[in-house]
Amino acid sequence: MKAHTLDALAALVPDGALLALPPDNSLSPGAFARALARRGVHDLRLVGVPVAGYAADLLIGAGCVAEIQTSAVSLGEAGFAPRFSAAVKAGTLRVRDATCPAIHTMLQAAEKGVPFMPLRGVIGSDILAHRPDWRVIDNPMADGGDPIVLLPALVPDFVAFHAVMADEAGNVWVGRRRELATLAHAARNALVTVERLVKGDMLEDERLAPGVISGTYVSAVAVAERGAWPIALLDEYGFDAAHVAEYARLARTEDGFRTYLDRYVHMREAVPA
């Protein structure tokens, strides 16, 4: 397996691509999102799996995004996602609201190669009223009178995330965060940044194998040390709350956001050790 540079990895995503991203609790591809913003990709359709945070807000602010499908966009304790909120208000972003288990279920349908899967709940929510692609049918396995929602399979063109390591066989390791495996299985291409490359084949190690995503699903890998920053990476490093608070503060205004881009995206400033 040949490792790409970070910018070469970002160059693989064409304008208009349907790009899925993990949330801010771990393994989010912070460095990759900054590389995409630096490249100036356009009209991305993002999928927040199941919610979106820093990376999505950054890409929205940088003018890279036409649409987002997600269950929420938030900076967690740093508050609302400012560029997302501004874009919704300005009407420059299409938002397809969802609810967390619906995002997971649509990806699980794609993983299985079936056209749809049912999900309980949701009936009576206005989310459903704004999702013409979600259907309600009468449960065909019951005697009638049991409405249930059907969700279409969701096949992202790309998923990008930051994993701990990649091996010589092209496998990557994400630990217990198995929804990333579902996401990689569902997407046409998985672009993965990693902290480090390791020798051998992790699928030969019983202790590592349960946390592995097989190289079958991985299209390209780049090494990006501290590539999740400012988001946490499992037990490797923690969430940089001070930086996300700084982002939230600057991104409150368009000018402040430009300052953030100059400082942390275009200048390629080194990540604090």
Partner 1 sequence: MPAIAPEERLAATLARLILDPSAPPARHIAVGAASPIPAAACWLVRKLGHDVRLSLLHKRTGNPFSEGSRELFDLTGQGRIDLFFLGGGEIDGQANLNLVGIGDWPGTTVRFPGSFGSAFMYMMTPRTILFREEHSPRVLVERVAHISAPGVSAPGVYRRGTAQALVTGRCVFGFDPARTRFTLTSVHPGESVESVRTNTGFAFDAPESVPFTPDPTPEELALLRGAVRAEMEETYPEFCARVWEREAA
Determine, following the binding rule CB under 8 A, whether residue 73 of this chain makes contact with partner 1: yes
In angstroms, the Cα distances linking 121 to 136, 139, 146 are: 11, 13, 12
Pick the piece of the chain touching partner 1 (CB under 8 A) from 98-106, 188-196, 252-260, 265-273. Answer: 98-106
Radius of gyration of the chain (CA): 19
Which residue carries 């630096």 as its tokens?
A: 38
- Ordered alpha helix ranges (H), 68-169: 82-90, 100-112, 126-129
Stated as kind and residue range, the H or E segment containing 218 is: strand 218-223
Burial of 131 (0-12, 13-18, 19+ CB in 10 A): buried
Please tell me the count of residues contacting partner 1 according to CB under 8 A: 55
Question: Please, which residue, 35 or 55, has the CB nearer to partner 1?
Answer: 55
Among 235, 255, 270, 273, binds partner 1 (CB under 8 A): 235
Segment 254 to 273, residues that bind partner 1, using CB under 8 A: none
Determine, following the binding rule CB under 8 A, whether residue 25 of this chain makes contact with partner 1: yes
Segment 114 to 133, residues that bind partner 1, using CB under 8 A: 119-128, 130
Question: Please, which residue, 145 or 199, has the CB nearer to partner 1?
Answer: 145
Question: Please, which residue, 73 or 191, has the CB nearer to partner 1?
Answer: 73
Q: Per the structure block, which two tokens stand in for 185?
A: 């299985």
Pick the piece of the chain touching partner 1 (CB under 8 A) from 75-83, 151-159, 212-220, 264-272. Answer: 75-83
Alpha carbon distance 155, 107 (integer Å): 7
Q: Regarding beta strands 158-166 and 172-173, do their DSSP bridges make them parallel or antiparallel, or are they unpaired?
A: antiparallel
User: Shortest Cβ distance from residue 77 to partner 1 (Å)?
Assistant: 6
Q: Regarding beta strands 172-173 and 212-213, do their DSSP bridges make them parallel or antiparallel, or are they unpaired?
A: antiparallel
Determine, following the binding rule CB under 8 A, whether residue 238 of this chain makes contact with partner 1: yes
Alpha carbon distance 3, 197 (integer Å): 9
Pick the piece of the chain touching partner 1 (CB under 8 A) from 30-38, 192-200, 220-228, 235-243. Answer: 235-243
Pick the piece of the chain touching partner 1 (CB under 8 A) from 6-14, 30-38, 80-88, 151-159. Answer: 80-88
User: Shortest Cβ distance from residue 40 to partner 1 (Å)?
Assistant: 25
- Output the CA angle 161-262-165, nearest 5 degrees: 20
Give me the residues that bind partner 1 (CB under 8 A), please. 23, 25, 50-51, 70-74, 76-77, 80-81, 84-85, 88-89, 91, 95, 97-102, 104, 108, 119-128, 130, 145-148, 176-182, 210, 232, 234-235, 238-239
